[in-house]
Structure 1
Amino acid sequence: AWRHGVPESVYPEALIPGRREVGGLFSGDMWGSVYPRSGFIHQADDYKAAAVIAQRAGDVVTRRGQVHVYQPLLAKPQPGYWPAGELIETDATTGKWQELTPTLSQSCAVFPNSQPRVQATDGGYAWALWRPYSCCKRAGQTFLGSTDFQ
């Protein structure tokens, strides 16, 4: 399924323009579609193509019961612990990307973003996906601090 986009090429998300896209036609900054979630994309800009492929991979592994061979990266909720849910493109509350190569970014953002883009000479790009998690303070212990994810 990753190589050819079958059967996802006939999903509504793949057939209806404007659904599940990174960027958009109306904004003039179309990076690519999340569906079909395959390893191929039509995008002239290597950086944008790699970002959309990363978004697709993140989309698959943050959902259960997909038509891909994969291991979901979803933790189970427990009392006092609420792990992040499904990754949704352009929604910073579900996850942000930190560029690791060709340049290491000191900040995180969703795709598309206006951060400076360095084109890799070898076409190699990598990002880390940072996900939000919530926990409640345990009684009788010291709260060390918190970080606002947005």
Structure 2
Amino acid sequence: MVARLAPALLIFCSLSVSAKITTGEVISRSLCPECIDYKVIGSCLWMTCTPAGCETNTSIKVKHRLPDLVAMSYLKTGEAPWQATQWMSPTNRYSKGGGRSHDRSPQLLDHTSVTFQNVDIIGHPAEGTFFKLLSGFGYVLEGPSEPMMPYYLSSLDPLGWRYNLPDVVNINSWDPLGNRLGTFGDIYPRGGFSVQPHPYKSAALSAFKAVHIVTRQGESRVYQPLVAQSKPGYWPPASLSLNNDDTAWQMLFPIAQTTASVWPDIDDSVLPYDPYAKRISDNGEYVWAVWRTYRGCQREGAMLIADFGE
């Protein structure tokens, strides 16, 4: 009986709350040629040896991005903006509410600029459609992301996302120099609260924190890591950090961007106006495709002897 009711329950849950973006829109808005950033960057030298002798072959080395993840940042627990995933992160007794903090929060943060964002990180659904587009560029690399896999749901990680445990005792939380994402705010502790009055920056910072967790192994959090292992001729992206540009972000909602950028993509520290004003959502909900850069070359032998290029 439970097995028969499960599909109907999932459909009911996904339709019971109004959504702002559908799976079709996530896929279509992510078919972004400029986001792929496909480049031939060098070559690889392969060797194969048999009793008859050894021979070498070469293959081109390429790099390009893949839309591994969909990141959602939103205010109301249980009301994710992507319809098909709303059932994954329902409200529960330990994860309720969100938005701006006017009353005292559980962390005793009661400043009016304190915000709380729920964040869901889901495997991008466009694998098959996307690879058809990408195949037109040439040799294609594959990533480890599984479509529709929930890699992180903040409502299921209340100790980490709402109470900053164990990040509050992490040495990075006390580093004033190496912990800040431009004017967005501090990465650590990687929870949903941030002292950031700007709604777009607050949402983006929360999404960055969640992907920072997901792209690492061994974090003391409730999550599924997305980490690919290097092998001969295949170099996956490094974990998300302030010190590399392997991860780029493409907004899908409230506006659909046709490029992907490494954050922060604008230095607004000295600008007399708000360059992020057009990105502010009316309802506090945001969705991004998270593009990560892969490097590799087609295998043309038993052993990789050398590779050339960035």
**Please, what TM-score do these two structures have when normalized by structure 2?**
0.41
Three-state SS of the structure 2 residue aligned to 1:139 is: coil
CA distance in 2, matches of 1:67, 1:88: 18
Q: What 5-or-longer segments of structure 2 have no aligned partner?
A: 1-159, 267-274, 302-310
Spell out, residue by residue over 1:74-96, the C-alpha distance to the aligned partner (whole angstroms, 9 max, x if none).
1222332121121113632x211
Match of 1:19 among 170, 178, 181: 178
Spell out, residue by residue over 1:93-135, the C-alpha distance to the aligned partner (whole angstroms, 9 max, x if none).
x211111111011111122222654210000011111111111
Counterparts of 1:114-133 in structure 2 under 5 Å?
114=266, 116=276, 117-133=278-294
CA distance in 2, matches of 1:86, 1:3: 23
The match for 1:74 is 227
Three-state SS of the structure 1 residue aligned to 2:161 is: coil
Q: Which moved more, 1:107-116 or 1:65-74?
A: 107-116
More helix, by proportion? 2
Give the residue type in structure 1 aligned to 2:163: H
Three-state SS of the structure 1 residue aligned to 2:203 is: helix
CA distance in 1, matches of 2:249, 2:243: 11
Output the aligned Cα RMSD: 1.7
The match for 1:8 is 167
Give the residue type in structure 2 aligned to 1:76: Q
Runs of 4+ in 1 over 4 A off after TM superposition: none
Contact kept, 8 Å, 1:46 with 1:119, in 2: the verdict is yes
Q: What 5-or-longer segments of structure 1 have no aligned partner?
A: 24-29, 141-150
**Please, what TM-score do these two structures have when normalized by structure 1?**
0.81
Match of 2:193 among 40, 52, 64: 40
CA distance in 2, matches of 1:118, 1:82: 33
Question: Structure 1's 124 and 90: CA in aligned 2 closer, same or farther, altered over 3 A?
Answer: farther
Question: CA offset at residue 16 of structure 1?
Answer: 2.1
CA distance in 2, matches of 1:113, 1:2: 25
Contact kept, 8 Å, 1:89 with 1:110, in 2: the verdict is no
Contact kept, 8 Å, 1:55 with 1:89, in 2: the verdict is no
Contact kept, 8 Å, 1:96 with 1:110, in 2: the verdict is yes
Counterparts of 1:100-111 in structure 2 under 5 Å?
100-111=252-263
Q: Which moved more, 1:78-87 or 1:121-130?
A: 78-87
Question: CA offset at residue 17 of structure 1?
Answer: 1.0
Match of 1:138 among 279, 291, 299: 299
Identity %: 38
CA distance in 2, matches of 1:139, 1:19: 42
CA distance in 2, matches of 1:72, 1:62: 6
The match for 2:113 is none
Determine which structure has more spread, i.e. the larger CA radius of gyration. Answer: 2
How many residues are paired up? 133
Q: Which moved more, 1:13-22 or 1:95-104?
A: 13-22
The match for 2:48 is none
Q: Which moved more, 1:126-135 or 1:81-90?
A: 81-90
Give the residue type in structure 1 aligned to 2:244: D
